[in-house]
């Protein structure tokens, strides 16, 4: 995205200025409703307006993109960490032997562990875990814009290929990722017949993923 372009005009007199500022950013123009005695104050106000409006516009877009496809989530999270000079995410994937083998991944990032949904392939499990982390940062007022721009760029890049839905274990069996505790070292709980009415949450049902602190 290009640098914002600011434009200010004085609608008052030279001895009693009334500055109104506009800014062009990401293809949108924002203008202050009020006028200000100092140009600097007008620029600061229009910056606040632009940030607020853009955030309200693109946060839903970010959620929508990662809900439609997780193919680029791991690459997005890694690049986001690099841009903010944060420690690179680490992925721990466990394979579970069953009638249908499956993988569950936990990603450690910024002091928090995020557990993804069970998947039929290791790569998909890693992307699902990365998506859990991404969803917790999209609404961040300080870095959310950087993350969403990264999501958009990766979605466009990966969109040139034919999208492939991840092979989640929930497509074949009823499973729920659970918190790792001293009493239970299992990341996945297989549901018995009494639990058949429990539905595994997905990104399209509820954007809040499970985060293990």
Per-residue model confidence as pLDDT tens digits over 68-115: 888 999 999 999 999 999 999 999 999 999 888 999 999 999 999 999
Give Cβ neighbours of residue 167 (< 8 Å, ≥ 6 apart). 119, 120, 121, 124
Which domains are delineated in the chain? Answer: 5-66 (3.30.160.20), 71-212 (3.30.160.20)
Q: What is the DSSP string of 92-146?
A: EEEEE-SSS-EEEEEEEETTEEEEPPPBSSHHHHHHHHHHHHHHHHTT-TTTHHH
b/e burial code for range 185-205 (CB count within 10 A of at least 16 → b): eebbeeeeeeeeeeebbebee
What contacts 40, CB < 8 A, 6 or more positions away? none
With pLDDT > 70 as the criterion, what percentage of the chain qualifies? 71
Assess contact for 176 and 191: CB atoms under 8 A: yes
pLDDT at 211: 38
Q: State how far the Cα of 149 lies from the Cα of 154, in Å rounded to an integer.
A: 9
DSSP state of 52: H
Count CB neighbours of 133 within 10 A: 26
The one-digit pLDDT tens for each residue of the chain (213 residues) are 567 888 899 998 988 999 999 988 767 788 988 899 999 999 998 888 887 777 677 677 777 888 888 899 999 999 999 999 999 999 999 999 988 899 999 999 999 999 999 999 999 999 999 999 998 888 775 677 788 888 888 888 877 443 444 545 554 444 444 344 333 333 333 333 333 333 333 444 433 333 333
174, two tokens: 């009823």
Would you state the pLDDT for residue 5?
Answer: 86
Q: Which residues contact 182 (CB under 8 A, 6 or more apart)?
A: none
């Amino acid at each position: 995205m290009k640098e914002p372009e600011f434009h200010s005009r004085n609608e008052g007199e030279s001895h009693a200025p009334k500055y109104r500022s506009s800014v062009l950013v990401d293809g949108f123009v924002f203008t202050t409703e009020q006028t200000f005695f100092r140009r600097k104050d007008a620029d600061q106000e229009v910056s606040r307006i632009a940030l607020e409006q853009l955030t309200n516009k693109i946060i839903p877009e970010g959620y929508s993109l990662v809900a439609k496809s997780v193919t680029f989530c791991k690459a997005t999270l890694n690049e986001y960490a690099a841009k903010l000079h944060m420690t690179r995410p680490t992925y721990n994937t466990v394979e579970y032997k069953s009638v249908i083998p499956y993988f569950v991944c936990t990603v450690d990032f910024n002091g928090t562990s995020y557990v993804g949904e069970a998947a039929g392939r290791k790569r998909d499990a890693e992307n699902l875990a990365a998506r859990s982390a991404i969803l917790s940062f999209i609404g961040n007022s300080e870095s959310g814009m950087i993350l969403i721009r990264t999501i958009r760029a990766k979605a466009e890049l990966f969109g040139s290929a034919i999208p492939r839905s991840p092979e989640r274990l929930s497509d074949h069996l009823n499973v729920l990722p659970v918190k790792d505790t001293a009493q239970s070292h299992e990341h996945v709980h297989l549901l018995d017949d009494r639990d058949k009415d429990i539905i595994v949450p997905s990104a399209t049902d509820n954007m809040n993923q499970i985060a293990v602190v």
